[in-house]
Structure 1
């Protein structure tokens, strides 16, 4: 009977056993994806009025709902500051609104520890619409019915895009936790 070389055995099983995810991926993927999503509308279209929803806020909500314990409660403040700097909103608006959203999600999860897709979608959609309205109020523009009508597709897009963004976050989470490959 022929014995396997220990190095050959580690090649067979080494990629599956006793491998940890890369620490830089574990820590940086959620924050980098939220920051990239915040910058995405600015990179796509530069106009007087944003035509796309706040992808950064939706990504924050998705990370918080898909992986509940991953982002600390205070993460809304620095990520909101980055969004304020990139989006052109008055500085402090996203800091306040993102922090309040993180607190609200924490309160909802304490009250309803069981969760499902529909509850997450309803919660994220209602928060996205409230965030949209608050951004309109804070922006300093006069709120006329025409302005709300023109900006309403953002709110509708936020509601409809949440499941897609949650699916994207689940894929990013799988990438974040995938095992690092080592070369012997």
Structure 2
């Protein structure tokens, strides 16, 4: 009987199956501590992009609560007010859960639209939190970050797919 190339191999440790996606999201959050200085926020939130990429690729991988510890790590790494990424990421995951109940089928365009809407919410909410804390500039300054984030989603989705194929031990190229 032929097996799917994406089927789990028995010799793979269960630790690798859940640790690799978590490590990739944390690695995305670690990108924020690189030597990058700008007057306006143009750098996409790579941790959130990786979380969205994994959530849209493998909806069964994590529950919505997984956004809490990952958001906490992002807050601690990025220096944001504690709880901001935890809240924003959890709301994004809950919105994806609600969208899964409403949508009968999804293709890449739908995933990109969902990711773009989630990124618009996340950048606007982060700006609102920064405004509340007294550190926000004008709202138009986050539009570049949102646009760059939305345009980088296809690359992040492809990266998540490649990591997932490696994580599951698939051979050959993607179909």
What is the aligned partner in structure 1 of residue 108 from structure 2? 117
- Equivalent positions of 1:43-54 (< 5 A) are 43-46=34-37, 50-54=41-45
Residue in structure 2 matching 1:174, options 149, 165, 173: 165
Please say which structure displays the higher CA radius of gyration: 1
What is the aligned partner in structure 1 of residue 70 from structure 2? 79
The question of 1:105 aligning with 2:96 is answered: yes
Q: Deviations over 1:40-81 (max 9, x none)?
A: 022241556543011111110110000110012210000000
Residue in structure 1 matching 2:49, options 55, 58, 80: 58
How many residue pairs end up in the alignment?
A: 160
Could you list the runs of 5+ residues in structure 1 that have no partner in the other structure? 1-17, 180-184
When the two structures are superposed, what TM-score results if normalisation uses the length of structure 1?
0.80
The question of 1:31 aligning with 2:33 is answered: no
The 8 Å contact of residues 62 and 169 in structure 1, kept in 2 or not, is answered as yes
Could you list the runs of 5+ residues in structure 2 that have no partner in the other structure? 1-8, 171-175
Residue in structure 2 matching 1:40, options 31, 35, 41: 31
Tell me how far apart the structure 1 counterparts of residues 91 and 68 of structure 2 sit (CA, whole Å).
9
Tell me how far apart the structure 2 counterparts of residues 149 and 158 of structure 1 sit (CA, whole Å).
15
State the 4+ residue runs in structure 1 displaced beyond 6 angstroms.
Answer: none
Cα deviation, residue 114, structure 1: 1.1
When the two structures are superposed, what TM-score results if normalisation uses the length of structure 2?
0.84
